[in-house]
Amino acid sequence: MGYEVKRKEELGPDTKLLDIYAPSVARHIRSGQFVILRVDEKGERIPVTPIDWDSQEGTISVVIKEIGVSTRKLGALDVGEEVRDLVGPLGNPGEVKLFGNVCVVGGGVGIPVAYERAKVLKEAGNNVTAIIGARSADLLLYEEQVKSVADHFHLVTDDGSKGRKAFVTDALRSLLESGEKYGLVYAAGPGIMLKAVSETTRPYNIRTVVSLNSLMIDGTGMCGGCRVTVGGETKFTCIHGPEFDAHLVDFKEWLSRLNAYVPEERQIISEYARVRT
């Protein structure tokens, strides 16, 4: 039995929103948890953080950036077609409570994830500052959705094509230097951005939580593929995370593991492109 794609929307270059019918997951998932998808028998297992779910309709919403072969196959599915395997919810729910003032930072394809967290933190009574950014304006996602739940909104692009020409950490640093106080900073996005956010908040001793998008296989802690050192101890992103105290994460090690298979991925993508043409 597969998991049917109920809705599909193109959000930007190589970026798709899919509503997938997975009623059991939709009933039980909580903010911060994730699922693992497999498009077909030979597909990789892809960890994805749902950005919305509807227990009545039985659907979960995921945003896919078509980078590797498996994500390209997933993005190519049409409404009515099925994902072969879907397991979840996996991982631990995020900490959602009244912190007071919070800052949520989202970069690239992590913006929809940041939006989901900003939304539930707002519902919990927090005053939400949101910072989102991308390399350029055409790569920005969920701008209006983030605006709708943020008390204070900041938008940046690397090239200045929209908003302030800056990185998200520049905007965050400006706020901190101006005297803004936060009970929590939460970040979702590219690995190097998460590291930069951590280093930006460290001197201020602000509780900072990052959602790690580690490479995974089984998602149950048995394979060890997603291990990360946190506070000097070995943790597994799939069962101990996916969210961790950013100031305790060994980002050098984690980023090295995250990029371990880049040459192989490029070769497979090249071969896939030749077959497709």
Q: What is the pLDDT of residue 154?
A: 97
81's tokens = 């077609």
Q: What is the pLDDT of residue 13?
A: 83
* Residue found by looking up tokens 């992590």 in the block: 110
Strands 184-188 and 208-211, by their bridges, are parallel
Q: What is the pLDDT of residue 44?
A: 84
Residue 175 Cα distances to 102, 108, 130, 204, angstroms: 12, 21, 11, 12
Q: What is the pLDDT of residue 71?
A: 87
124's tokens = 């919990």
**pLDDT digits (tens), the chain, 277 positions:** 679 999 999 998 899 999 999 999 999 999 999 999 988 887 888 899 999 999 999 999 999 988 888 888 888 899 999 999 999 899 999 999 999 999 999 999 999 999 999 999 999 999 999 999 999 999 999 999 999 999 999 999 999 999 999 999 999 999 999 999 999 999 999 999 999 999 999 999 999 999 998 888 878 888 888 889 999 999 999 899 999 999 999 989 888 877 755 665 666 556 555 556 5
Distance CA 107, CA 119 (A): 16
Q: What is the pLDDT of residue 12?
A: 84
Exposure string (b/e) for 128-142, b if CB count within 10 Å is 16 or more? bbbbbbbeeeebbbb
Q: What is the pLDDT of residue 271?
A: 58
What the chain holds in terms of domains, given with CATH numbers, is 3-90 (2.40.30.10), 101-258 (3.40.50.80)
- Residue 50 near residue 34 (C-beta atoms within 8 A): yes
pTM of the model: 0.90
Distance CA 108, CA 200 (A): 19
